[in-house]
Structure formats: structure tokens, C-alpha cells
Structure 1
């Protein structure tokens, strides 16, 4: 049978837009200034090289998505290729990473909301307000949250394009001297920081079942979105350097816009940052809730964790995620939140690369008549993707790695829980909503 094709659903342009919208958020408005502060002008290479390395994993995602053109992304791939428990770890890691990322992005929202209003309120208060609004939107239904997302994405891309254009007009050769302001080590440290900025590419595979001609379009959308976002990030770094700021930090994009545009233009950029961070957080909440629905449909988590609201969303998952994000917002340490997100994301990406490695080595698992995206260079790319995940991991603080793994394996308790009769009914309802086979044929947890 040829690769799965859908006559209806999202176009490749829409899939790219969702991925770009998810990646372009706090990674631009908050993280870019922090990276320039660490790496200087070589921050350009930090974003470029990190994008290339992430593309290795993107190719692994693309190949698996062309074979399993359904919703679920990394969770689905690990579940199908590695078995039930590795699949659970991948899915739980995705849920936790998306939830933690929401906290970081909303802290950025709080910083820029202050700048927009000209106030000095604790940014955590605005962030808490943001998580309440987004949880409420998603409890009402995906269609309302999706419409909200489209408007926010269009606004932030337009504003960033203007900032980059002005930065390119003002940049000079001397702005790049000395290029390695903090040595090669600063550039490498910048790479470990910006990994967070690219993890949103997974959204294309996560929503693969909604993309038309997904066997072809999901791989293309994945790689194109990584390339587009790398260009945007590098353009913003150029704009920051052209502003000649005395120091760089979490609000440097705003400070640079004051220099390049004046007060009125800076207010527009701050408004764009508010839109951008809020839309990225919204995409993370949507993605996290979708993962729990998929896991519940496969009996990887008890049905009660994915109880559907009147709007058809997994209400308990959204509420639990909002509580976890609230705890991290109150903690308020940006670096810790980013590193913890990286730990959980790297676990999922490593498992996906291992799955792609097995796919290349055991292509007999795929029916010969099936068309799919074949990974170039054989096992080299998935092996490079898996190794890069490990290398990124070891650059993080040992305590952060420990906390990340504790959070992940604490989820094993949920995996081992027996479901209740009410939970079984919820699972059947979810499977019916997702168009799966009759609930009487529910899959078992064993591999």
C-alpha cells in the first residue's frame, strides 16, 4: 500500500506555519539576548550549528512520520518501534517538556508585558494570569484555541520581519569584531542554550494525522520549518548586534528596538513579544493535551487523566499541566526551566533517533510496496542525532539532569496504575473521538 494520503486536512503551508509559530517565541524575545551575552557575535554560529544538529533528529522524525502518518509524534514512533514502556517514557517526556516549556515562555510573556505597559510588576504575576487564560481557552475547545493561535502567529512574524530588516540596514562589519568575543567555549555554551529554541519542530509530527498527503508533506514541513526558524533567529541576532547595546539579557530585543525604532516602535515590538510568547505557550498547552489523549487511547495512562471536557479536550491533563507550570513560574528561574525542558526533550529525541536507527537496519518491517521518506546515508544521520542528544545532555548541570530523570521515571507509577471502569469508558470515548476502532478492542500495556 502506498504511503498514507489524506484528501482533507492541513496543507503543507499550514503545517509549516504551526511549527514556525511554535518555535518563534521566547527563544527569540528572551533567549537571544541571553545567548549574545554569553557568546557575543558568535551567537550566530550557536543558532546555525544547533539548527544543523537538530536537523539530524528532524530527518529521523520525518522518516518515521512518513511511515506512521498519525497524530502522536515522538510518542507514537517510540511506541511502534521500541515497545510499550519506551513509548510511554517518550510520551511522558513530551508531555512534561511541553508543560515546562509553557512556564518558561510565560515568564517571557510576563517580562515583555511589563515592558509594554511600562510597569515593574513581578513578571510571575502576569505569567500566572497567562496560564489561567490559556487553560480556560483549551478547556473550552481546540477550535477556539486554534483560531487564537493563527492570529498571534501572523502578528509576531510581521513584527520580527520588520526588526530584522532594520537590523540588516544598520549592521556593519565592525559589529562582528571580535567575532568569538568569549572564545569558542562561549559559542558552544550558546549552542547548548539555544537547543530549547528549536524543539517546537516536533509539532509537525505530533499533528501528522491532520496533514494532507502526510507521508510527503510532514517530512518536508519538518525540515523547511527548521530552516526558516534558523534564518529568523540569526536575523534577530544581527539586529541585536546592530543596536550596540552596552549589555545583553532577557529583554535585549526590546532594548534593541528602542535604539532602532524609538519608543513607539519599541512598544510595537513589545506587543509582538507578548503575542509571540502567548501563542507559543498556547501551542505547548495544545500539544501536551494532545499527547495525553493519544496515550490514553493506547492505554498508556489511565483514562481519568484524560477526562474530556464539554469541548472535547482532556480536562484533567490541562489542569494538571497548568498546576505544574504554575509551580515552575513561581520558582521563576529561567535557566533552570530551560535546562529542565532540554532534559525531557532530549530523552524523547534520543528515543526517536534510536527508532529511526532500527528502521534503517530493519527495513523489512516496512511493507515493500509502502512509499516513505528514506533517510540518506543510512544509519549515519539517526546515529548522529542520538549522539548529539547525549552530548547536549552532558553539558547540563548534574542536578538538573537528576531532577529531569526523577520527573520522568516518577511517571512510571502512572503507567502501572490500573484503570477504573469510569476510566475505561473515558478511553472508549477518546478512541471514538479520534476515529479509532471499537473500544472493546483496546490495546494492552505489554509490548
Structure 2
């Protein structure tokens, strides 16, 4: 008999990997690769490997924690159990801030891409319909979300594989010269940008209560997801530079579409547009999934109103969290505001992963599957990237964290 606020384990290894890939393969590969090319030139491929390696360190820390604490909330839960309530709350609040703001702009991106395929309505209306549809899917059970996510990820992967095979014969060696026009500093900056393209794997740990055999499945899913993402991102990036060069990628907000236009393979442009659309849709689906589970975990400890811990008696999902998540994303989608929060998301997510690594270091030695070196390296990577951010971004992030603690104080005073 399920408790009133207990979720159901329905996700397999395949589903968990699908959720991770759906969260990673989105704006990162379709947008951020162009920005990274602008700051480091063709050497952003090196930056990509560095970012992926640091993400792997963080991912292994998440994996060893999730194996022991397979509960909703991910690092929020680890912070509470292994560090202090303040660390735990900081992780949960930063997760909500970064993912809610990112979800709204991903929804806007989906509307823009899909409108290019089928201009049946304005991009904003398409975005709104997508948010409502995915909110409804999330409401009716985790298994349905898992199935839809696998379909979405399959379309995205097939489109990117088509781009890779189409571009192999169209590459030119001269497009890789000069390889590092902005030196080491350009590579370092590109690494910081590209790191955020890999952070979706945390969604797997956040769903710890809904995965079969979590102690075995979650670490495997995180490792498989990161490895596949690194290989895919590297292959696409090499092809993109080889076909059009770093400058043309940097000059466009849709660098992979620039690559598609330069190729002569049949239907390559609409296929890449479809891939971009499904990629955005997959990220949005996983955002609603992860945010609502974080709200559930925080509601259980009164860090958010306890109503968020309510689980639907039939569908076994945090339905109120799903509805509120969908509503907030709709607000951001319609108004297009909160841009300052989006800029601060880079700082907030680095804080989240820093706490993950600290929690992994505090685990008992017998539970440290990958030893102490991995979380140490992950923590150092997060710190180096965080100090490379503009000071105004850091200050906004700190301000948002302070606002969160004020709200937490209010919630705790009301619901003792």
C-alpha cells in the first residue's frame, strides 16, 4: 500500500538514460556550440572535452550519492542528509531558480523552431500549447512521460546522426585553422559555457524515487548518459566546424541550421529543424518532471508550502507541483521576462554541483564508490568556472539565494 506522498518506481535503465539525454540534448548542442565557437574558434572542441570531463566528475559524484540515497530531490536531499539544512536548501532553491527560468526560454525556443516547420500559429501560441500539453502528460503518470520522452529523444538523435553522416564528405581542413585564435583564455571561457550543456544528467538523480533498482540503475544511467552526450556533441561539433567553420557558427543563433543549409543531402534542413524542435521539447518535458519532484522534496521539509508534497492517489505523481510548475513556465513564456534570472542560472547551477561534490566527500568511505579524487576534481572544476563568470551574474545569484532563505524563514514560521 502506497503512502499518501510516495511515488511509484516505474522507470527502467532505458527510461532513465532517455530522461538524461532528453535533458542534455537541447539548447546546448543547437545554440551554445555557436557561442562557444565565437569565444575560442575551432578549439572549442577541446573546450567541449574539458567541459564534458568536469561534468563527468560531477556526474560520478551524483551517481554515488544517488545509489545510497535514491530519493526525490537529488542534491537537495544529499545536502540535508550529509551536510546541513542550509546547504540542502541552497541546492534545492538554486535548482528551482535555474530550471524554471531555463524552461520558460526553452519553451520560447521550441515555438520559434516549430513555427519554421509549420507556421500554423504564432511562435508564442505554439510555445504555450507545448507547455500545456507537456504539463498534462506529466500529470497522468511517470510511465507516460517516459514513453513520450523516448520518442522525442529518438527523433532528436536520428536528426543529429543524419547531420553527422551528411557532413563527413563536406568537411574542409582549412576550416580548422587557426585552431585556437584566442588562446588558452578562449578555451577556458568556452569550457565554462559548454559545461551547462551537460548538466541535464542531474535529472536522473532527482527522479530517484521513480527508478527501478536505483542503487544499480542510477549510476549506470548517469555514466551512460554523459558518455553518449560527450561523443555526440564532439561528433556534431567536428562536423559543424569542418563544414562551415567557427566564424559562421558564431555569427548565427542557430549554428546547426547554418550547417544544414551548406549541405546538399536530401531534406537535411527540415530534418535538422525537426531535431531542434524535438530537442527543445525533450528539455521542456524533463524540466517539468525534475522541478515538480524538487518541489515535492522541499514540501516534505516545509522549505516550500507542504501542499507540494501531495501525491495524486491514482497517478502517483506530485500533481500540484506539476500544475504550479506548468503555470510558472507559462508566465515566463508569455511575458518573456525574468531575463536577469536566466543570466544568473549559470552561477546557481555551479553552486548546486559544488554542493553535490561536497556531499560526496562527506559520505562514509564505504559508500564512496569512486573514491575521494572524483568529487575533489568536480568541486575544483566548479569553483574555477564560477570565478570566471561576470561579477554582476554572481551578485544576482547571491541575491536570489538570499531571497530564497527569506521565503524559507516565512514558510517555516507558518508551517512549524
Give the alignment's TM-score, normalised by structure 1.
0.81
Q: Any idea what the Cα deviations from partners look like across 1:282-310, whole Å, max 9, x if unmatched? A: 10111000111122223332213455568
User: Following superposition of structure 1 onto structure 2, how do residues 146-165 of structure 1 map, counting pairs within 5 Å?
Assistant: 146-165=146-165
Instruction: Give the match for residue 65 of structure 1.
Output: 66
Instruction: Give the match for residue 359 of structure 2.
Output: 355
User: Partner of 2:11: helix, strand, or coil?
Assistant: coil
User: Following superposition of structure 1 onto structure 2, how do residues 285-434 of structure 1 map, counting pairs within 5 Å?
Assistant: 285-306=288-309, 313-326=317-330, 328-329=332-333, 339-359=343-363, 362-363=364-365, 372=367, 374-376=369-371, 378=372, 380-418=373-411
Give 1:143 deviation, angstroms: 4.2
1:274 and 2:295 matched:
no
Give 1:257 deviation, angstroms: 1.1
Q: Is the 8 A contact 1:66 1:373 kept in 2?
A: no
Q: Determine the C-alpha separation between the residues in 1 that align with 2:393 and 2:129.
A: 27
Q: Determine the C-alpha separation between the residues in 1 that align with 2:166 and 2:339.
A: 30
In the superposition, relative to structure 1, how do residues 149 and 16 fare at CA in structure 2: closer, same or farther (>3 Å)? closer
Moved more, 241-250 or 342-351: 241-250
Structure 2 unaligned spans of 5+: 1-8
Instruction: Give the match for residue 45 of structure 1.
Output: 46
Q: Any idea what the Cα deviations from partners look like across 1:313-347, whole Å, max 9, x if unmatched? A: 44553454345445554675999665422222111
In the superposition, relative to structure 1, how do residues 127 and 183 fare at CA in structure 2: closer, same or farther (>3 Å)? farther
Instruction: Give the match for residue 428 of structure 1.
Output: none
User: Partner of 2:197: helix, strand, or coil?
Assistant: helix
Q: Determine the C-alpha separation between the residues in 1 that align with 2:120 and 2:315.
A: 36
Instruction: Give the match for residue 221 of structure 1.
Output: 221
CA RMSD, 1 decimal: 3.0
User: Partner of 2:344: helix, strand, or coil?
Assistant: helix
Q: Is the 8 A contact 1:111 1:251 kept in 2?
A: no
Instruction: Give the match for residue 78 of structure 1.
Output: 79
Moved more, 227-236 or 34-43: 34-43
Q: Determine the C-alpha separation between the residues in 1 that align with 2:126 and 2:390.
A: 29
Moved more, 262-271 or 277-286: 262-271
1:257 and 2:252 matched:
no
Q: Determine the C-alpha separation between the residues in 2 that align with 1:143 and 1:266.
A: 33
Q: Determine the C-alpha separation between the residues in 1 that align with 2:307 and 2:406.
A: 14
User: Following superposition of structure 1 onto structure 2, how do residues 23-42 of structure 1 map, counting pairs within 5 Å?
Assistant: 23-42=24-43
Structure 1 unaligned spans of 5+: 1-7, 367-371, 424-444
Q: Determine the C-alpha separation between the residues in 2 that align with 1:87 and 1:34.
A: 33
How many residues align? The count is: 405
Q: Is the 8 A contact 1:167 1:238 kept in 2?
A: no
Q: Determine the C-alpha separation between the residues in 2 that align with 1:32 and 1:25.
A: 11
Q: Is the 8 A contact 2:97 2:341 kept in 1?
A: no
Q: Is the 8 A contact 2:302 2:411 kept in 1?
A: no
Give 1:198 deviation, angstroms: 0.8
Q: Determine the C-alpha separation between the residues in 1 that align with 2:109 and 2:386.
A: 24
Give 1:233 deviation, angstroms: 0.9
Instruction: Give the match for residue 235 of structure 2.
Output: 235
Moved more, 237-246 or 161-170: 237-246
Instruction: Give the match for residue 208 of structure 1.
Output: 208
Instruction: Give the match for residue 97 of structure 1.
Output: 98
Q: Determine the C-alpha separation between the residues in 1 that align with 2:177 and 2:77.
A: 47
